[in-house]
Every structure is written in structure tokens, then in C-alpha cells.
């Protein structure tokens, strides 16, 4: 009597193909659902793009004001940037912290020392462990005033307690390391405090102007205690929320910042010499 042959599963013994295909379909649906429910942090995305721009280099042509990677401009710049496509042959292989402005403040001669200062700052951010606390929040750029070093706040990592001008100890230690670096540079410096816009009503006798000025003075004291000569301080000012780093969203924490500028100045005239 002939035995009945068992029917082969799924018509050919390839049932695992079906199981595998079902698994892939489920995984695809899962990741699509995650992507659909996720929200992008625009500020962090822009910061990441800015970091990539610094890593891949900047353009060398004066008429082009953008880096190799540009989406709505580099986030750490307050002026418009070029978003046109860039020929790779027009970009440098060496990354740099300084971007050229439309009017070309990076000129030959006296501005070479600011390029060297920017290089020194970049190297110090990598080599000095005491600057690790603020290294990811430092923005260095060439402006008409000079070489600006801006230290910004981040979500959950502010430099000051809310409404206070008393620096956190970790930030004081980092600024002391920065003072050691500034001490080796010849330029005089100005210090400006900036606050972000706030929806909360401030006190009538103590508002953003007083707070930003007090914070700038707190930074000045730490820099002087860290070794920066007092006669190297040219100005200490409070800007309140009048100059946001992100004008489209003045409430962002990164608008709260301290700006230390190495000033463009004519060389001093020796005593007894007529200019």
C-alpha cells in the first residue's frame, strides 16, 4: 500500500521566505512610523551642519560667502549666507574658524595676526582640557570690530542661573583657561553680555540691560583673575536682547551669550612721537 506523501509547505518548501518578507515589512513599517512621529531640532541640525562645514573647509573666493555645506546659512552667523551650489575646486582642503564677510574684512597685512589668533584659539580648544566645558559652545568669527569669540548657552547647559549674574563654577574654570590664552595675544578685548528675549515680565528695577551688563562684568572679573591684564580690557557692555544670534527666534537659549572681541586697533604710537 503506497504511503501518502506529506504536502510540502507553501508549495515548494520555501516557507521561510514568506516569514522573512513579513519581518522586513514589519520593520519597514516600524521605522516609517518612527520617522513620522519624530521631530527635528532645527537648532541642533544647524549646529551639526556648521561643524561639518568647518571639517570640510571653507571657500576661497571672496565673492562667495558660504561653506561647502550650506542649508539656510551656517547657524552661528547672523548675516545672510550663500546657498548656491559650490564647485569643489573652489574650496580649500584646510578647515578654518574664520569666515569672510561680504566686504572682505580678512585682508593681507594687519589681519594676518587675527588669522593666527583664530588658529591659536582652535588649537587651545583641542589641547586645553579646562576649555572642554565650553568648547562645543564657542563661535569664532571675523567681524568689522575684530575677532569675536562668542560663548553661547544651550538647553540645560547655561553659563548663569536663571536671572543671575553669578557664573557656574564649571564655566569659571573654563574662562580661566581662556584667560591664559588671551593673555598670550596682543590685542585689547571688549566684553559684551547678551540675553534672550523672555515672555516673563522682568523686574522694573532690574531688567535685561542690567542683567547683561552684570554678566559681562562677571566674565571680566574671571578673565582678570585668570591673568588677563586689566589694561587690556577696552570695554564692558550689556546688550540685553537687542542683537539676537537667531533673529527668527529671539527666545532660543543660544541667544544668551557672552561675546569677547579681540579688537581691530591702530598700533600704539610711542611716547614723544608725533603721529
55: domain range? 39-96
Given a contact cutoff of 8 angstroms between Cβ atoms, the answer to whether 213 and 236 are in contact is: yes
Question: Domain with 235 in it: what CATH number?
Answer: 3.30.1330.60
> Exposure string (b/e) for 132-166, b if CB count within 10 Å is 16 or more?
ebbbebbbbbbeeebbbbbbbbbeeeebbeeeebe
Tell me, yes or no, whether 83 and 130 share the same domain: no
Closest CA to 138 of 182, 104, 100, 107: 182
What is residue 93's predicted lDDT score, i.e. its pLDDT? 43
Tell me, yes or no, whether 113 and 206 share the same domain: yes
Tell me, yes or no, whether 200 and 92 share the same domain: no
If one counts the domains in the chain, the total is 2
Tell me, yes or no, whether 177 and 252 share the same domain: yes
Is the residue at 242 inside a domain?
A: yes
Tell me, yes or no, whether 107 and 237 share the same domain: yes
Is the residue at 147 inside a domain?
A: yes
Given a contact cutoff of 8 angstroms between Cβ atoms, the answer to whether 165 and 214 are in contact is: yes
Question: CA-based angle 175:227:125, to the nearest 5?
Answer: 40
Given a contact cutoff of 8 angstroms between Cβ atoms, the answer to whether 230 and 222 are in contact is: no
Closest CA to 218 of 243, 240, 196, 191: 191
What is residue 270's predicted lDDT score, i.e. its pLDDT? 56
Is the residue at 157 inside a domain?
A: yes
Low-confidence ranges of the chain (pLDDT < 70): 1-14, 39-111, 266-275
Of 56, 81, 96, the domain-final residue: 96
Is the residue at 272 inside a domain?
A: no
Closest CA to 60 of 84, 93, 109: 93
pTM here?
0.59
Is the residue at 226 inside a domain?
A: yes
Dist CA 250 CA 78 (whole Å)? 12
Given a contact cutoff of 8 angstroms between Cβ atoms, the answer to whether 143 and 105 are in contact is: yes
Given a contact cutoff of 8 angstroms between Cβ atoms, the answer to whether 246 and 128 are in contact is: no
The residue behind cell 571675523 is 142
Is the residue at 11 inside a domain?
A: no
pLDDT per position as a tens digit, 253-274: 889 999 999 998 765 555 565 6
Tell me, yes or no, whether 102 and 88 share the same domain: no
Tell me, yes or no, whether 191 and 219 share the same domain: yes
Tell me, yes or no, whether 127 and 217 share the same domain: yes
Q: Which helix (H) or strand (E) holds 211?
A: helix 208-225
Tell me, yes or no, whether 114 and 224 share the same domain: yes
Rg (CA), the chain: 27
Tell me, yes or no, whether 129 and 257 share the same domain: yes
Tell me, yes or no, whether 160 and 254 share the same domain: yes
Is the residue at 28 inside a domain?
A: no
Tell me, yes or no, whether 167 and 253 share the same domain: yes
Is the residue at 20 inside a domain?
A: no
Of 53, 69, 96, the domain-final residue: 96
Amino acid at each position: 500500500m503506497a504511503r501518502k506523501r506529506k504536502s510540502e509547505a507553501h508549495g515548494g518548501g520555501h516557507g521561510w521566505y514568506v516569514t522573512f518578507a513579513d519581518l522586513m515589512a514589519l520593520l519597514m513599517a516600524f521605522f516609517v512610523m518612527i520617522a513620522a512621529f519624530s521631530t527635528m531640532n532645527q537648532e541642533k541640525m544647524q549646529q551639526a551642519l556648521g561643524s561639518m562645514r568647518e571639517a570640510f573647509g571653507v571657500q576661497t573666493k571672496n565673492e562667495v560667502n558660504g561653506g561647502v555645506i550650506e542649508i539656510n546659512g551656517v547657524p552661528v552667523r547672523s548675516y545672510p549666507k550663500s546657498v548656491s551650489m559650490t564647485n569643489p575646486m573652489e574650496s580649500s582642503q584646510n578647515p578654518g574658524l574664520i569666515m569672510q564677510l561680504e566686504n572682505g574684512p580678512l585682508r593681507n597685512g594687519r589681519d594676518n595676526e587675527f588669522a593666527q589668533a583664530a588658529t591659536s584659539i582652535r588649537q587651545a580648544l583641542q589641547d586645553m582640557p579646562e576649555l572642554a566645558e565650553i568648547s562645543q559652545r564657542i563661535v569664532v568669527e571675523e567681524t568689522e570690530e575684530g575677532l569675536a569669540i562668542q560663548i553661547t548657552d544651550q538647553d540645560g547647559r547655561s553659563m548663569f542661573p536663571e536671572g543671575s549674574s553669578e557664573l557656574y563654577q564649571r564655566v569659571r574654570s573654563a574662562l580661566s583657561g581662556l584667560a591664559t590664552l588671551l593673555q598670550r595675544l596682543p590685542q585689547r578685548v571688549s566684553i559684551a553680555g547678551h540675553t534672550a528675549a523672555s515672555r516673563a515680565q522682568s523686574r522694573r528695577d532690574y531688567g535685561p540691560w542690567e542683567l547683561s551688563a552684570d554678566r559681562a562684568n562677571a566674565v571680566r572679573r574671571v578673565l582678570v583673575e585668570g591673568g588677563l591684564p586689566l589694561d587690556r580690557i577696552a570695554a564692558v557692555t550689556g546688550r540685553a536682547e537687542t542683537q539676537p544670534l537667531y533673529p527668527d527666534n529671539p527666545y532660543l537659549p543660544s541667544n544668551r551669550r557672552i561675546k569677547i572681541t579681540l579688537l581691530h586697533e591702530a598700533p600704539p604710537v610711542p611716547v614723544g612721537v608725533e603721529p
